[in-house]
Amino acid sequence: MRSLFVRNPSFVSTFKSQSWIHHQIKLHQSPKPPIRFPPFSSNHHLQFSASEALKSSISNFSASASSMGAVSDEEGLSRRFWIKFQKESAFSLFSPFVVCLASGRLELEAFRHYIAQDVHFLRAFVQAYKMAEECADDDDEKEAICELKKGVLEAMRMHDSFVQEWGIDLAKETTPNSATVKYTGFLLATASGKVEGGKDPGKIATPFEKTKIAAYTLGAMTPCMRLYAFLGKKLQPCLDPVETSPLYRKWIDKLASESFESAAQQTEDLLDKLSISLTGEELKVIEGLYHRALKLEIEFFSAQPIVQRSVVPLSRVLDPTENHLVVFSDFDLTCTVVDSSAILAEIAILTAPKSEQNGPEDLFTRKSSADLRNSWDVLSSQYAEEHEQCIERIMPSEPAEAFNYEGLCKALEELSDFEQRANSRVIESGVLKGLNSEDIKRAGERLVLQDGCTCFFQQLVKKKVELNADVHILSYCWCGDLIRSAFSSGGLNVLNIHSNEFKYVESVSTGELIRKVESPMDKVRAFKDILKTSGEAGKHLSVYIGDSVGDLLCLLEADVGIVIGSSSSLRRIGSQFGVSFIPLFSALVNKQRESFEGDSSNWKGLTGIERFQAVNDLRGRGTCMDLFKHCWAINCNVVFFWMNH
């Protein structure tokens, strides 16, 4: 059995025209990998108008890609806020406290401390509900607030049952920590009318103005209720029926219950109702309060002290004197939304001349934009058809009963031959001829990577010495200059880039490639070669982040493999050869259960090739972990650094 950890990112901006976006997304969702998009460009004399067109294309694509993730205005206010900020919930879900709690191995003293702190939260909630009830001018609203207050009092009674079992009064013996004080102070200040952007509390006199305070107060409480309901549903399936403490189970079962979900929904419905008559500016105030409350609640979980060893964050687990951390990442559709070949094609088409514009000063005879599009249509159609045929040929008729690494390698060797032949056709077609290196660099600098991607690598580089770490990008990309320029805008010139390269004459591409990394076999060879030069064998911890079939061998060879996205072809091939894909959170919880005090190798020795990956559901027979459905770098950040930003 072989395992990978999986997660599904929310894609944010790259550049392309909307038609190309739809084309690439359709391809990525199909069983086939994204089709390469062969480009052609102008020579070294890039005209101003072409440059402006390229800049416009980048801007338009970024806007359209961002709008694809927009939330419909038909959603309620609370729902829109939760969808907008839900990705940050990863910082609570993957906190050491919650991971240890879900494993059933959280030390009782840590849970006692949490309950004591939570009592202070609940008392603040009761007080805030009382204040909101006084501000509401509608009997139905007052009754709804009163019912929510009763729910909090019931939660306090459950806490009292813990206190009775322990025989102590934790609320009296424990001083609120700074995170608790921050949230409770923020909540009660809001309930008192002290809201940034709001009216001075002393000047609030009319019933309508008081109703706004009730809405603001609910805005500061609603995300906490939704976050707890979210955590309950995530934690409950992880509970071990035998080993989980009855106290933990009682608390988690309550959060996962229908009654708690109903209370969270009632809180959201009430916020929606109280906000109906508010202006756009006042709704922005509520959004700010909602986001602030969510961040403070997340801080509360991160502030819970635990003494025991936790498998997260990875940066705290590793001993840099014992392990050299080597992080690898794919580029296309792992860091980007659109395959780099599509980006290069956009440059080529936008800067391609009309047929009569070729002159004696041109270094190469260039295709017109119309001819270029026709060439692309032929090449892409041929690639798609033959790729699907290749996948069908290498796919075993029956799923493997056990992980079949040798069979997988043999199959991917055939796929590698196909990829190399496809690249040869692209070169022979001449569509890569005439691209200007400055055009490529400018496009890369304007390329917007997936949300948080740059920040993740910046943290790795910043902690390079502290973690004893190196970072390598392994990519099929035809042009390493595009990758380097994409990262240079984030100050990441120190990343090691391993990809193919354009051949240039006077900064203009000849149409030839320096062919280094074209296939799954090329990638895994490069991966192994890098590790051989990264210190003594067994003394490094390798992490690979990827999204497609081309990354599969590297994901399996690495100590930690993180799969980005939900490539159907990756899952199809992986599962047929005995690789399974499991949710990241579940895999972390299982790893926490396996860990022992004093064991410095929590992330190594996974029967050779078990891995973390990122998918949505359990597939196949190995193990891949799912970093759940949001920005991949958010999840990588919490696993590596516990970095809330």
Q: Which of 125-129, 291-295, 532-536 is predicted least confidently? A: 532-536
Average pLDDT score over residue span 413-431? 95
With residues binned 3-state (H G I as helix, E B as strand, rest as coil), the percentages for the chain, rounded to 5, are 60, 10, 35
| Bridge partners, residue 607, by sequence | none
Which amino acid, one-letter code, is at 129? Answer: Y
Average pLDDT score over residue span 281-290? 96
Tell me the pLDDT tens digit for each residue of 569-619: 898 999 999 988 877 888 888 888 887 544 544 565 443 333 444 333 222
pLDDT at 237: 92
Nearest alpha carbon to residue 155 among 223, 89, 228 = 228
pLDDT at 376: 82
Phi, psi at 405, each rounded to 5°: -70, -40
Tell me the pLDDT tens digit for each residue of 74-125: 689 999 999 999 888 888 998 999 999 999 889 988 998 998 899 999 999 9
Residue 315 has pLDDT above 90, yes or no: no
pLDDT at 37: 37
Active site residue 143: no
In the set 224, 390, 453, 636, the catalytic residue is: 224
Average pLDDT score over residue span 33-49? 34
State the pLDDT confidence band at 352, using cuts at 50, 70 and 90: confident
Sheet with 433-436, side-by-side order of all strands: 433-436, 508-514, 501-505
What's the chain's average pLDDT? 80
Average pLDDT score over residue span 455-484? 93
- SS3 at position 329: strand
Active site residue 224: yes
Average pLDDT score over residue span 518-547? 90
Residues 327 and 334: their CA atoms lie apart, in Å, by: 14
Are 454 and 632 a contacting pair, CB within 8 Å? no
Domains annotated on the chain, with CATH? 1-42+311-645 (3.40.50.1000), 108-305 (1.20.910.10)
State the pLDDT confidence band at 69, using cuts at 50, 70 and 90: very low
Query: 301: which 2 tokens?
Result: 């979980």
Q: Which of 43-52, 117-126, 215-224, 268-277 is predicted least confidently? A: 43-52
In the set 297, 346, 501, 518, the catalytic residue is: 297
